[in-house]
Amino acid sequence: MTHPTLSRTSHRPWPLPRVPWILAQTWKDVLFVHYRVAKSRVRPLVPTVLDLEEYDGSAWVSIVAFDMTVRPRFLPPVPGLSFFPEINVRTYVRAGDKPGIWFFSLDAANRLAAGGARALLNLPYFVGKMSVRHRQGWVEYEHVRRGGEVAFEARYRGIGVPAEPVRGTLEHWLVERYCLYTVPLTGRLVREDIHHFPWPLASAEAEIEKNTLLAPFGIHPEDPPLLHYAERQDVAVFPPLRARPRAGGVFSERGLLRAR
């Protein structure tokens, strides 16, 4: 089974993994809320084995909200399991020559998905009460994490014609990322590759009524965020690989899951 996005790969910063993809995801009504943050504030929150990336002398932290569809390879989506909203908080890192994402938190309205990702990869998933609605051209997004202290409430919409971000720009640096990093309970750095077409990115207008997602990390941005919107992105997810440092800071890779 071939994932539709594999027909175009020339934009990737490194070749596709040599193992088959294992999950298909579709992200809809994606809102990016990007904050410029001092490196000194973010560096202590990221493992030292990773380099914290900067753009124009600053680190960046982003909130990404979207509606998710996910299914394993060879299986159709399952009602009640495959469709749910998700929202995450992330920053931008590098291991060796591969830039990627480090997640501070991920919230999903699906206990099974959140529990599985936390158990397998030690990703900081939480379960929340979430909803996504469309009204008069706006996307209305509401999220409250269990316990009620962490929440995000906004309405947003895209502005203008979507376009692929231009290489070298801040927009390209922020969104064109093709892996995430995590440290499972084994204590060893792991990279999980993804693949998709270049982002069909538009500017966004957002009215954010509530946002306490950054507070647990002591991040309190003073500047207004940079906003982007994408209507849809189809994604292939590959098995996680162990990133093992060797002489010269180069990373070798060893599969953690045997692909079939």
Spans of all domains in the chain: 21-255
User: What is the percentage of the chain residues whose pLDDT exceeds 90?
Assistant: 80
DSSP state of 45: G
Q: What is the pLDDT of residue 255?
A: 39
Q: Return d(Cα 55, Cα 183) in angstroms, integer.
A: 24
Tokens of 183: 């440290």
Q: Express each pLDDT in 104-150 by its tens digit.
A: 999 999 888 889 889 989 999 999 999 999 999 999 999 999 888 89
CA distances from 103 to 62, 116, 161, 204, 239 (A): 10, 16, 29, 23, 18
CA distance linking residue 67 with residue 86, whole number of Å:
6
pLDDT, tens digit, 9 for 90 and up, residues 178-218: 999 999 988 899 999 999 999 999 999 999 999 999 999 99
Which pLDDT belongs to residue 25? 96
Between residues 252 and 93, which one has the greater pLDDT? Answer: 93
List, for residues 17-54, the tens digit of each pLDDT value. 999 999 999 999 999 999 999 999 999 999 999 999 99
Q: Which of 88-92, 167-171, 183-187, 203-207 comes out lowest in average pLDDT?
A: 183-187
**Closest to 65 in 3D by CA, of 136, 140, 127:** 140
HSE of 57 in the Cβ direction (CA atoms, 13 Å)? Answer: 0
Residue type, 224: P
CA distance 98 to 192: 11
Q: Is residue 249 over pLDDT 80?
A: no
Average pLDDT of the segment spanning 69-82: 84
Q: How confident is the model at residue 244 (pLDDT cuts 50, 70, 90)?
A: low
Query: Taking the CA atoms of the chain, what radius of gyration do you get in angstroms?
Result: 18
**pTM > 0.75:** yes
* CATH class held by domain 21-255: mainly beta
Higher pLDDT, 172 or 113: 172
Which residues on neighbouring strands pair with residue 89, listed in sequence order?
63, 105
Q: What average pLDDT does the structure give for the chain?
A: 91
The pLDDT of residue 258 is 29
pLDDT of residue 256 exceeding 50, the answer is no
CA distance 16 to 6: 9
Residue 99 has pLDDT above 60, yes or no: yes
Residue 245 has pLDDT above 80, yes or no: no
The pLDDT, as a whole number, for residue 247 is 36
Nearest-angstrom CA–CA distance, 137 and 141: 13
